[in-house]
Structure 1
Amino acid sequence: MIGLALGGLGGGGSILAVPALVYGVGESAHTATTTSLVAVGATSLVGMMSYWRAGRVRVVAGLTFGLLGLGGSLLGSLTSRSIPNNVLLLAFSGLILVAGWRMHIRYAETPCCAKQLAAVSAGQDSATGVGGPALTATDKSARHKSSRFAAAGKVVIAGSIVGFLTGLFGVGGGFVIVPALVLALGYEMPVAVGTSLLVIAISSGESLLFRLSSEEIDWQVAIPFTAAGLVGVLVGGATATRVPAERLTRWFVWLLIAVATYTAVQSLMTM
């Protein structure tokens, strides 16, 4: 299921890894978050390859975004150690709902939509006289620099958040990365999805390195779990060309809601 979601939707699947390992395999929440990093990182890297071959991965931006999450990954990994299992799972159920909401609204966040809104806003300004006189070359340069600084600030914040979430919960954070790449850098959705898979692989590797000194990986679980994810991501990529993305997303959002509810109930019952 994780591989299918990553291959078909370009993100969101990693949010299922921890509940699957806890309730399906019987691992503790802390062990599951570490094991999930192996599966999520490897699966994202393989899933990225088809996007890379199609020229839909911005390597420099992905590396920059991933490296910005180093501090967040360290902080998240350290924080995770001090949180009880049931509290960690309860917080995780809330994160699953946020991921579902982000995936539900994600397809409206496109550069085309942003340009249409900008055109409407510009038309309203000109109609009401708010626009004022035409901008000089100096004004345009200043606005361009301001826009670049604002975009850079959004990327830094988003990268830090993704690193923290990856370190704390063992998730990829694609539901944060994709909107950031679309809205801050103006990437088209396929490019944002492909680049996000690179970022997820980098963030997972960073968080795994920080955890290896204090957490052990059950390779008897991690290896088959990862192998199944790799098969799923290839099947998901092929499925995405046959089933409308809107329908896939709707199905997956309902699955996330069900998993979040189950996780919340189970964690509350053990408190």
Structure 2
Amino acid sequence: MAVELLGVGAATLALFVGFGVLVGVLFGFFGMGGSFLVTPALLVMGYPSRVAVGSGLAFVFGTSVIGALRHRDLGQVDYRLAALLTVSVSVGIEFGKRAVLSLEALGAADLVVSVAYVVLLGAVGAFVVVDARREGDPTGSGAVLARVRLPPTVSILDGPTVSVWVVFAIGLVVGVLAGFLGVGGGFLLMPAMLYGLGVPAAVAVGTDILQITISGAVGSFLYAQSGGVDLSIVAPLLAGSALGARVGSAATGVVSEDDIKGYFGAMLLLGAVAVAIRQVGLALGTPALSHLSLAIIVGSALLVSGAVCYSSLLALRRREEPRPASTD
């Protein structure tokens, strides 16, 4: 007799737990919501769109709480910056949604949003990868926006002092794009903090996760009211991510900043390819391309999370290696 939990068979249960570990590692390491992985996977598995999106948001909320607590313990969360970004991103999302509604009235929303998503994801990913391979100052002191001193200002944890107006403007722009594209905005906010404000990579991840916690809570609550959250999906995913998020969060403290940027950029580039293939499949009515898209997303997540764990082990091994004795 098959073992079941909340109506989920043993094989599906193991799949969800394993997938939760995988997404948890990536979330804890990058501060990116797992809905861009979980939602398409649930859609391909045959779950209704409402359940796929709602359960994905609930999973992101639960995982972000775990990740935020871990980053707090590591001292990698800037609470003032997170509060400013949460407010400004929320305002921007509303404007983004209105832009989508206007495009829907013209019958051009699906095409414009899909193209914008692929282009933006690919462009940001390419920029981050190139920057990670470039030799230079790793502290983020070259961030132009961090040099604006329009009062009032706020001091960033382990980073520069920046104008509150600049922080709000960045959050507003990211929010508009997030609302327009229908995503959480983590893949946009991370580069904005790194390159716009000069926030250290580990602090950027922890702060991003904290603001995702708030937005994820609102989204999952709204979907739960309409029955869009399936606990038989969310519970095993969260069980796995509880471990994965702690591993990913801890890795940010030992892996170099350039490696964090490089893995992040690679994940975005692979995601752009996967989304592009999925959109082509939808346009042509070819289910095989949608399955290929999911395979690329899951495969890239597995590859990058494995690289993160491997880099962490190497970094820890170097720290534990005895230093050569002095010849003086």
How would you bin the TM-score normalised by the shorter chain? 0.5 to 0.7
TM-score by length of 1: 0.68
Unaligned 5+ segments in structure 1 are 119-142
**Higher RCO, 1 vs 2 (CA within 8 Å, ≥6 residues apart):** 1
- Secondary structure at 1:145 match in 2: coil
Aligned: 1:218 with 2:238 = no
Alignment partner, residue 57 of structure 1? 77
Closer/same/farther in 2, CA of residues 216 and 12 from structure 1, 3 Å limit: closer
- 2:186 corresponds in structure 1 to 174
Q: 1:4 aligns with which of 1, 5, 25?
A: 25
Q: Which residue of 2 aligns with 1:132?
A: none
- Using the alignment, how far apart are the partners of 1:116 and 1:165 within structure 2? 24
Deviation at 1:158, TM superposition (A): 3.5
Aligned to 2:37: 16
Q: Structure 1 residue 35 and structure 2 residue 50: aligned?
A: no
What are the within-5 Å matches in structure 2 for residues 134-153 of structure 1?
A: 144-145=149-150, 151-153=163-165
* Equivalent residue in structure 2 for 1:205, among 217, 220, 226: 217
- Is the alpha carbon distance of 1:164 and 1:190 closer, same or farther for their aligned partners in structure 2, counting shifts above 3 Å? same
Q: Does 1:187 align with 2:209?
A: no
- Work out whether residues 44 and 198 of structure 1, in 8 Å CA contact, stay in contact via their aligned partners in 2: yes
* Contact 1:73 1:165 survives alignment (8 Å): yes
Shift of 1:268: 1.3
**Deviations along 1:160-218, whole A, 9 cap, x unmatched?**
45545666666331222123323444322211111111111112223334555556222
Residues 111 and 266 of structure 1, relative CA distance in 2, 3 Å threshold: same
Match of 1:261 among 270, 276, 284: 276
Which structure dedicates a bigger proportion of its chain to helix? 1
Match of 1:67 among 84, 87, 91: 87
Equivalent pair of 1:58/1:191 in contact (CA under 8 Å): yes
Matched to 1:10, the amino acid is G
1:117–1:178 CA distance, 2 compared to 1 (3 A): closer
Please report how far the alpha carbon of residue 8 of structure 1 lies from its aligned counterpart in structure 2 after TM superposition: 2.9
**In the alignment, residue 245 of structure 1 is paired with which amino acid?**
I
SS of 1:248 mapped into structure 2: helix
Contact 2:84–2:167 under 8 Å retained in 1: no
**How far off its partner does 1:40 sit?**
1.4
With structure 2 as the length reference, what TM-score do the two structures score? 0.58
- Relative distance call for 1:195 and 1:238 in structure 2 (3 A) is closer
Determine if contact 2:141/2:198 at 8 Å carries over to the other structure. Answer: no
Q: Deviations over 1:106-144 (max 9, x none)?
A: 3738975754588xxxxxxxxxxxxxxxxxxxxxxxx73
Q: Percent identity?
A: 24
CA distance in structure 1 between the aligned counterparts of 2:232 and 2:52, rounded to whole angstroms:
13
TM-align CA RMSD = 4.2
Structure 2 residue ranges without an equivalent (≥5) = 1-21, 155-161, 287-328
Residues matched between the structures, number: 245
Amino acid across the alignment from 1:71:
V
**1:51 partner SS:** helix
Name the CA distance, whole Å, in 2 between partners of 1:260 and 1:199: 25
